[in-house]
Chain A
Amino acid sequence: MPRVRTAKALAKRIDLQYFTRPNLIKKWRLYLSIGLVVFAVAWVAYEGVTRNQRVYTKGPLSSAHAVLTTNCDVCHVRDASFQAPVADKACLACHDAPTHNQLQRFTPTCGSCHVEHTGKAHLAEVASSGCTQCHGDLKTTDNSHSVNPHIGGFDKQHPQFAAVREGQKDPGTIKFSHAEHLASTTRNLNGQVQLDCQDCHRPTNTFAPWPNSVAVIQPASQQPAIVGVSDSQQRKRRSVEAGGGAYMMAIKYVNQCAACHPLQFDDKINDPAPHDKPEVIHAFIMKKYAEYIAQDPSAVRSRVDDINTASPLGYKETESAIRPTRNEAAPLPNSAAEWVRQRTAAAENLLWMKNCKVCHLATEHDAPGLPQSVKGVIPSRWFPHAEFDHQAHRMLACEACHTGIRSSKQSADVNIPGIELCGPCHKEAGAKAQAAEGKCYVCHSYHDWRKERTIKGIMGISSAK
């Protein structure tokens, strides 16, 4: 008779007490559950006992704060409450944070803009939302606005740069034509030359000699200190002070102009007139003529109207504007002093009426006395509320941004690029949009660092580490 497999027969095989004995899977489930929980508790307890708070960090600290990674309490100052967020006073213990604007209605906390634990190299690289939370709909304590009150970011409603807005002019007081200087017909000491932007405009951390400086027409012993700095320490210091080449060096006559526009006033005098105030120039000329006549008393009998600027260094006149004019016939001087006076008057007439007026706005010298020249001003920074780094843009040709420079004939022309030229490269999303950074901090600084106070450190080595 074959095996019978009825339900009753099968049921009879069952041990009715089976449920009182744990099965293998349940047993191991229990063991593993207890084991893992115990391990987790032990881990947390161990980290607590060893005061290793790194396990709880939500992300790496910025490089400047990385030394504080295991010392949360330095920034997370605990008070009576449960929470221990980063209080501003913790930041201000080491950093000063000058006020943004006296009229601001709201001052964000340090941590709301400088978000830590993201591994950023520089905490100053803040999100634009920190700025636009106010500047998106700006309200001030006196309801006045010195800037556009609705700026959503660089990509959104950012106004045109003030310098290039409609009707703006270059505030400079030097007469200058970029078109003429960049033309192929321009000449220098040696004849025709093609000037380049870098011949006059260079970042502040450049130390190569200027090709058109006064050094070119003066012996090395008389070169001004600004040219040819060789000491590495001094160079380094100057480089740091200059902000690493962010801005262009200021235009100075001795560096950029002297070689082509020498202030030679008489071929009898080797030295050119100094590029200085009229009274200084007057004293210089008088002194030089006095020295000359003392060495050559016979020159008293020479006429003063033969004065010309043929350079003893072989400089050939390059511009009609600085060619000497024939002075009106004057009586022969009867003394050395009279010769000096007449000669000085003739030389000054040449300088004031020709040389100086090539570049400077000056009052007419039609009355006795020295002219009142307008102080030469050339703006070195065009964005007073923003920063620009030429060094960071060195891969660009100058004319890529200063597009109209070759056709600019007047000083009043503003040759600064508008915001529309920044847009193609700089975007708010930065690297995410495969673009250059376009957040507010790139150009603007929230804190007014002119008001920065010196911080007196309070931490010891052991508390910092």
Chain B
Amino acid sequence: MWFIGSVIVLAVGVLLYVPYSLRSVDGVSGGSGPGLAYGILGFAMMIFAGLLGARKRVRIWRLGRATWWMRGHLWVGFLSFPFILFHGGFQLGNGALSRALMILFLIVFVSGVLGAVLQHFLPKMMTERIPMETIYDQIDHVENQLVVEAAQLVADASAMVEQAIEQQEEAEEKAPFAAAGKKNAVAMPDERVSAKIKAFFETQIKPYLTSRRSQKYSLTNPVQAAAAFRQLKLLVPDTVWPKFDDLESICGEKRELERQRYMHKWLHGWLLFHVPASYALILLGAVHAFVALRY
């Protein structure tokens, strides 16, 4: 409905603009009758598109479905652009106010189109690429939990290693030759391994998990992360490996959260341009309309 309606309105606008433009020997002007009509229509469309923000603030009011308002915002907002161009005769304007309005409108329109495109594609992409997606506002909270969880895993792993060392020492005392032979056959941990695991946590895992700019850490790269954990596993008995698998999983989750954070910025970052510029546009547009109608 919105699509068909918008196409019809745009077609009518174009059909009226062509003869108006051709007959205007001195060029089209926003102050002429048709120019003024295009300006009023365009501004009315902007106001309607802007009502989406107001509608969101009163969600419980029975003012139509949210999707209806969103589609109206998209189509009518899109339609306002050609109408304002018709109003201004495809010129940037001569006065500072006119120019400011056109620049603001360009920002609003371009950011709006970009936002619509991003909102169309990114959510699906996020679902595919971020299975561990969480609420954006919870990312920091979850990351803190990941640090706690990782610390616990490291503590458990260290404890298991120390326990393995103790068991090894006991075994050596009971059967020195048998233990020595076993030691030679399989890499058995010593006291330094536990320290190495803790150091790896403190220097690599924890900074990475708490970092907001994690690109500089090698754990950001899944291949490098896998290699690092593989090397650690070589130092410990296989009974400890599940702990390292969990640590690697935590790093993987951190990567996903980082990806979500990055994609979320794209998904909503355009609003930093779109919304403020829209408010300023409507305010200055009202001033422009007031001055234009007065003079």
Q: List A residues at the B interface (Cβ < 8 Å).
A: 1-3, 5, 10, 13-15, 18-19, 21, 23, 25, 28-29, 32-33, 35-37, 39-41, 44, 54-60, 72, 76, 82-85, 115, 117-120, 127-129, 428-430, 432, 439
With A and B bound together, what is the CA distance between A343 and B13 in angstroms? 90
Q: Mind listing 16 A-B residue pairs with CB under 8 Å? A: A3-B246, A10-B134, A14-B134, A14-B135, A18-B135, A25-B271, A35-B276, A40-B284, A41-B283, A44-B284, A54-B95, A58-B31, A58-B95, A84-B295, A115-B29, A127-B26
Please determine whether B95 and A3 come into contact, CB atoms closer than 8 angstroms. Answer: no
Q: Which one of B26, B138, B280, B283 lies within 8 Å of A18 (CB-CB)?
A: B138
| Chain A residues within 8 Å of B134, by CB | 10, 13-14
Q: List B residues at the A interface (Cβ < 8 Å).
A: 23, 25-27, 29-31, 93-98, 132, 134-138, 141-142, 145, 242, 245-246, 249-250, 264-265, 268-269, 271-272, 275-277, 279-280, 283-284, 287-288, 291-295
Please determine whether A117 and B272 come into contact, CB atoms closer than 8 angstroms. Answer: no
| Most chain A beta-carbon neighbours within 10 Å: one of B95, B136, B145, B295 | B295
Q: Which one of A13, A129, A430 lies within 8 Å of B145 (CB-CB)?
A: A13
Chain B: CB-nearest residue to A44: B287
| Chain B residues within 8 Å of A58, by CB | 29-31, 93-95, 98, 292
| Chain A residues within 8 Å of B249, by CB | 2-3
Please determine whether B25 and A37 come into contact, CB atoms closer than 8 angstroms. Answer: no
Please determine whether A115 and B26 come into contact, CB atoms closer than 8 angstroms. Answer: yes
Chain A: CB-nearest residue to B265: A25
With A and B bound together, what is the CA distance between A276 and B30 in angstroms? 64
With A and B bound together, what is the CA distance between A118 and B265 in angstroms? 44
Q: Which one of A14, A41, A44, A429 lies within 8 Å of B138 (CB-CB)?
A: A14
| Chain A residues within 8 Å of B25, by CB | 127-129, 428-430, 432, 439
| Chain B residues within 8 Å of A76, by CB | 295
With both chains docked as a complex, state the minimum distance between the C-beta of B165 and any C-beta of chain A, in angstroms. 23
With A and B bound together, what is the CA distance between A15 and B295 in angstroms? 57
Please determine whether A40 and B141 come into contact, CB atoms closer than 8 angstroms. Answer: no
With A and B bound together, what is the CA distance between A349 and B199 in angstroms? 139
Please determine whether B138 and A13 come into contact, CB atoms closer than 8 angstroms. Answer: yes
Q: Which one of A15, A57, A118 lies within 8 Å of B141 (CB-CB)?
A: A15
| Chain B residues within 8 Å of A36, by CB | 276-277, 279-280
New contact pairs (6) apart from A28-B272, A117-B94, CB-CB < 8 Å: A1-B242, A2-B245, A33-B275, A56-B288, A82-B294, A129-B23
Please determine whether B138 and A15 come into contact, CB atoms closer than 8 angstroms. Answer: yes
With A and B bound together, what is the CA distance between A103 and B246 in angstroms? 100
With both chains docked as a complex, state the minimum distance between the C-beta of A54 and any C-beta of chain B, in angstroms. 7
Please determine whether B279 and A23 come into contact, CB atoms closer than 8 angstroms. Answer: no
Please determine whether B242 and A2 come into contact, CB atoms closer than 8 angstroms. Answer: yes
Q: Sort A-B residue pairs by CB-CB distance and give the 3 closest, nearest first.
A: A32-B276, A55-B96, A59-B94
With both chains docked as a complex, state the minimum distance between the C-beta of B241 and any C-beta of chain A, in angstroms. 11
| Chain B residues within 8 Å of A18, by CB | 135, 137-138, 141
Q: Which one of A10, A40, A56, A119 lies within 8 Å of B280 (CB-CB)?
A: A40
With A and B bound together, what is the CA distance between A10 and B26 in angstroms? 67
With A and B bound together, what is the CA distance between A394 and B93 in angstroms? 38
| Most chain B beta-carbon neighbours within 10 Å: one of A2, A19, A36, A118 | A36
| Most chain A beta-carbon neighbours within 10 Å: one of B93, B135, B277 | B135
Please determine whether A56 and B246 come into contact, CB atoms closer than 8 angstroms. Answer: no
| Chain B residues within 8 Å of A55, by CB | 95-97
Please determine whether A29 and B277 come into contact, CB atoms closer than 8 angstroms. Answer: no
With A and B bound together, what is the CA distance between A21 and B294 in angstroms? 45
Please determine whether B276 and A29 come into contact, CB atoms closer than 8 angstroms. Answer: yes
Please determine whether A56 and B138 come into contact, CB atoms closer than 8 angstroms. Answer: no
Please determine whether B283 and A37 come into contact, CB atoms closer than 8 angstroms. Answer: yes
With A and B bound together, what is the CA distance between A20 and B245 in angstroms? 36
With both chains docked as a complex, state the minimum distance between the C-beta of A392 and any C-beta of chain B, in angstroms. 20
Chain B: CB-nearest residue to A82: B294
Please determine whether B279 and A33 come into contact, CB atoms closer than 8 angstroms. Answer: yes
| Chain A residues within 8 Å of B269, by CB | 25
Please determine whether A13 and B141 come into contact, CB atoms closer than 8 angstroms. Answer: yes
| Chain B residues within 8 Å of A85, by CB | 295
With both chains docked as a complex, state the minimum distance between the C-beta of A44 and any C-beta of chain B, in angstroms. 6
With both chains docked as a complex, state the minimum distance between the C-beta of B34 and any C-beta of chain A, in angstroms. 13
Chain B: CB-nearest residue to A22: B137
Chain B: CB-nearest residue to A86: B295
